[in-house]
């Protein structure tokens, strides 16, 4: 049931990106190109998409807070609250990649439906970036552990 439910949610999400035009990198770049405002060629659509999505999600989440989901024991709300360096640096790196091509993860994956080779290259690179993060994180954790072990040994 969970798999079927999320199939449906993914489908609706995909239709939302499609209808809004956010599946198209040129339309997203048309929003990000704020220097086009004076010439009248700026496309504010993305702001309307976000506003509508936020209105529905904000209201829906407020109602969802008080009840358990249908196919799971409880809602899994994110728990992190600290604004740290990974958040800031990661967001900046993501924004740079987004600005270069106009694709963020949702539309990138959805555009695989077109079998366009440049899109496939983008998604493979994106997956590689995610795997690279995982490897980097594991190494960072291991070296932190070593540093701690060394410190403990020296102390003791």
**Residues in 14-33 that interact with other proteins by CB under 8 A:** 14-27, 29-30, 32-33
Instruction: Quote the tokens at residue 48.
Output: 């309307």
List the one residue out of 81, 139, 108, 80 whose CA is nearest residue 23.
108
By CB under 8 A, the residues from 48 to 107 that bind other proteins are 48-61, 64, 67-78, 80-83, 86-101, 103-106
124 touching other proteins, by CB under 8 A? yes
Q: What is the DSSP letter of 57?
A: H
On the 0-12 / 13-18 / 19+ scale of CB atoms within 10 A, 98 is: middle
Question: CA 93 to CA 100: how far, in whole Å?
Answer: 11
Residue selected from 38, 66, 112, 155 as contacting other proteins according to rule CB under 8 A: 112
Question: CA 35 to CA 107: how far, in whole Å?
Answer: 24
Q: What is the DSSP letter of 37?
A: T
List the one residue out of 124, 92, 118 whose CA is nearest residue 105.
124
CB closer to other proteins out of 60 and 150: 60
Contacts of residue 69, Cβ cutoff 8 Å, sequence gap at least 6 = 75
Residue selected from 11, 138, 143, 149 as contacting other proteins according to rule CB under 8 A: 11
CB closer to other proteins out of 51 and 151: 51
CB closer to other proteins out of 34 and 153: 34
Kindly determine how many residues on this chain lie close enough to bind other proteins according to the rule CB under 8 A. 114
By CB under 8 A, the residues from 125 to 144 that bind other proteins are 125-134
Shortest gap between Cβ of 148 and other proteins (angstroms)?
Answer: 22
């Amino acid at each position: 049931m969970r798999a079927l439910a999320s199939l449906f949610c993914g489908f609706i999400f995909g239709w939302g990106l499609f209808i809004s035009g956010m599946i198209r990198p040129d339309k997203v770049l048309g929003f990000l190109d704020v220097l086009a405002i004076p010439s009248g060629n700026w496309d504010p659509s993305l702001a309307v998409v976000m506003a509508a999505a936020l209105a529905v999600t904000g209201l829906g989440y407020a109602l969802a807070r008080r009840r358990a989901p249908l196919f799971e024991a409880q809602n899994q709300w994110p728990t992190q609250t600290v604004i740290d360096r990974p958040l800031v640096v990661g967001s900046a790196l993501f924004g740079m990649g987004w600005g270069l091509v106009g694709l963020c993860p949702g539309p990138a994956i959805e555009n695989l439906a077109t079998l366009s080779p440049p899109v496939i290259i983008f998604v493979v690179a994106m997956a590689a970036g995610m795997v690279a993060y995982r490897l980097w994180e594991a190494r960072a954790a291991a070296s932190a552990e070593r540093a701690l072990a060394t410190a403990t040994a020296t102390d003791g």
